[in-house]
């Protein structure tokens, strides 16, 4: 299971389906930041995050079920999949149910029950993070080497090179991209311009989300970054490459440095505003 900091963590069972649970390190009342790992197969740096939470405070929430990327909902004996990073808005919940379960008829009793359970899971996660009180939400993600159709047999959708191309061709969900020249798969995806400056100055790949996604239904994918924008939260996605069936490698040491930089920025005193 690759559990984290067992002596210092607790398991919170999802009341509506007990094979889904959260592994929680720390407490949301301790510090104004909350870390969350939505995909159980993306766990390269989880141990390090847990250690840093125990050292610096805050909370780290890991969603668990069966070790896979997607969560399986058991509704009346039938299984429906959802992407757990696409469940934090109503539009996102409906979209992930439709994408992952094309045979699930909208408006059916099963659909309504699956939609309701997906919303309850999202709220369960947010409540366990102390998301309302936390001013900073930090997501922990990993991606595979390269990206789809990159001409180098890459996989997936995450790459600073891909984000550069998206920005150049008019994508509306991002407004700035800093390509520092380090590995394309290691990057920060963020919501605050001041973090963009600090991370770019530290020679990291950085993507700044467009705040307009908060009010643009066409850009609402249900991700935690969109919800953060809707609520004015500081959001940081710490993203790095992982190994996948012999493809790519775990960038553990790199992602540790990224996590450490994130903690440094979280703990940095805010500059006093001039009177």
DSSP 55: H
The confidence score (pLDDT) of residue 274 equals: 46
User: What pLDDT is recorded for position 110?
Assistant: 97
H helices present in 103-170, as ranges? 109-129, 160-168
Tokens 């069936």 belong to: 245
Task: Tell me the C-alpha distance between 9 and 22, whole Å.
Answer: 10
Which residues make Cβ contacts (< 8 Å) with residue 202, sequence separation at least 6? Answer: 261
- What is residue 152's predicted lDDT score, i.e. its pLDDT? 77
CB-based contact 37:48 (threshold 8 Å): no
Give me the residues of the chain with pLDDT under 70, please.
1-7, 271-275
Q: In the numeric block, which tokens belong to residue 107?
A: 């408006």
Structural Rg of the chain based on CA atoms:
18
pLDDT of residue 272: 53
- Whole-number Cα distances in Å, 266 to 99, 143, 235, 238, 241: 36, 24, 11, 13, 23
Type and span of the H or E element at 189 = strand 187-190
- pLDDT for residue 273: 45
Report pLDDT for 148.
Answer: 82
Extents of the domains making up the chain? 1-134, 140-228+241-253
The per-residue pLDDT for 248 is: 83
Nearest to 224 by CA among 211, 237, 212: 237
Q: What is the DSSP string of 121-140?
A: HHHHHHHHHTTTT-SEEEEE
Q: Which long-range contacts (CB under 8 A, 24 or more apart) does 210-215 make?
A: 210/172, 210/173, 210/174, 210/175, 212/172, 213/172, 213/173
């Amino acid at each position: 299971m690759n559990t984290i900091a067992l002596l210092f963590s607790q398991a919170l069972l999802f009341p509506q389906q007990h094979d889904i649970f959260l592994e929680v390190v720390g407490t949301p009342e301790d510090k104004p930041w909350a870390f969350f790992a939505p995909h159980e197969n993306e766990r390269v740096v989880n141990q390090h995050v847990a250690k840093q939470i125990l050292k610096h405070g805050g909370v780290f929430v890991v969603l668990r079920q069966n070790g896979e990327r997607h969560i399986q909902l058991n509704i009346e004996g039938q299984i429906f999949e959802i992407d757990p990073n696409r469940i934090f808005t109503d539009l996102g919940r409906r979209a992930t149910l439709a994408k992952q379960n094309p045979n699930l008829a909208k408006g059916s009793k099963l659909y309504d029950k699956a939609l309701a359970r997906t919303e309850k899971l999202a709220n369960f996660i947010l409540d366990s993070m102390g998301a309302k009180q936390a001013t900073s939400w930090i997501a922990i993600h990993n991606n595979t080497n390269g990206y789809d159709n990159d001409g180098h047999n890459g996989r997936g959708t995450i790459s600073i090179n891909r984000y550069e191309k998206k920005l150049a061709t008019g994508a509306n969900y991002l407004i700035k991209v800093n390509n520092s020249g380090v590995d394309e798969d290691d990057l920060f995806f963020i919501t605050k311009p001041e973090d963009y400056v600090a991370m770019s100055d530290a020679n990291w790949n950085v993507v700044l989300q467009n705040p307009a996604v908060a009010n643009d239904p066409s850009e609402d994918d249900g991700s935690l970054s969109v919800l953060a924008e809707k609520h004015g939260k500081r959001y940081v996605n710490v993203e790095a490459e992982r190994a996948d069936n012999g493809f790519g490698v775990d960038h553990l040491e790199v992602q540790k440095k990224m996590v450490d930089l994130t903690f440094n920025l979280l703990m940095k005193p805010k500059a006093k505003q001039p009177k």
